[in-house]
């Protein structure tokens, strides 16, 4: 087994689910992960990589958000069945469907955030990273993390409330 195959084998088990939580379906998650590994391989040919998990985590989050943005821009969205797909080990109850619809609204709103805010929010929300872990992963200060998270949350809250607002509100 070569060095590259060892890197892929060591990280693919967490990378696919991580991307899935952002893009919301298996096919897109696999496409994004493949794109990440191709890009990482190319980068590794030019420079030494000291922190594979950190690099792959950052690349996967960014590529997943880029993927959502491309889908939003191209208007080539999948059918609602594909967008509302839930993992096969989860019951499709009303609560799960409501949660899935909310997650899809969130994914759409994420595409409108600036890169740093989108990165910070996805790491915090989808990966559960603390502010300290975010600062280390993104190589920014904890204060910058807090500011970006605050701004992202504020923008997302506003974006998610718009569809539910009526003239009587």
Residue partners of 84: CB distance under 8 A and separation at least 6: 97, 100, 101, 104
Give the pair of three-digit tokens for residue 63: 């590529």
Confidence label for 125 from pLDDT (cuts 50, 70 and 90): confident
pLDDT at 127 (0 to 100): 84
The residue among 126 and 17 whose pLDDT is bigger is: 17
Model confidence over 8-67: pLDDT tens digits?
999 999 999 999 989 988 999 999 999 999 999 999 999 999 889 989 999 999 999 999
The residue among 128 and 169 whose pLDDT is bigger is: 128
Of 84-93, 100-109, 131-140, 160-169, give the range with the top mean pLDDT: 131-140
pLDDT at 1 (0 to 100): 60
Q: For 136-141, what is the mean pLDDT? A: 87
For the entire predicted model, the pTM comes to 0.68
Domains and CATH numbers, the chain: 1-77 (1.10.1740), 93-169 (1.10.10.10)
Model confidence over 71-123: pLDDT tens digits?
887 754 444 444 445 444 444 445 555 566 777 788 888 888 998 999 899 88
How far, in Å, CA of 142 to CA of 135, rounded?
5
pLDDT at 126 (0 to 100): 84
pLDDT at 89 (0 to 100): 45
Helix, strand, coil share (%) of the chain residues, nearest 5:
75, 0, 25
């Amino acid at each position: 087994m070569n060095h590259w195959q060892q890197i892929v084998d060591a990280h693919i088990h967490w990378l696919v689910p991580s991307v899935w939580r952002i893009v919301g379906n298996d096919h897109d998650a696999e496409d994004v992960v493949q794109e990440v590994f191709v890009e990482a391989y190319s980068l590794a040919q030019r420079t030494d990589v000291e922190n594979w998990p950190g690099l792959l985590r950052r690349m996967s989050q960014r590529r997943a958000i880029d993927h959502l943005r491309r889908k939003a821009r191209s208007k080539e969205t999948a059918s609602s069945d594909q967008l509302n797909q839930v993992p096969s080990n989860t019951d499709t109850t009303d609560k799960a469907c409501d949660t899935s619809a909310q997650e899809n609204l969130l994914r759409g709103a994420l595409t409108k955030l600036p890169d740093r805010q989108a990165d910070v929010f996805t790491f915090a929300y989808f990966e559960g990273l603390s502010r300290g872990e975010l600062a280390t992963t993104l190589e920014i200060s904890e204060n910058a993390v807090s500011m970006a998270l605050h701004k992202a949350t504020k923008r997302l809250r506003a974006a998610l409330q718009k569809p539910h607002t009526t003239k009587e509100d």
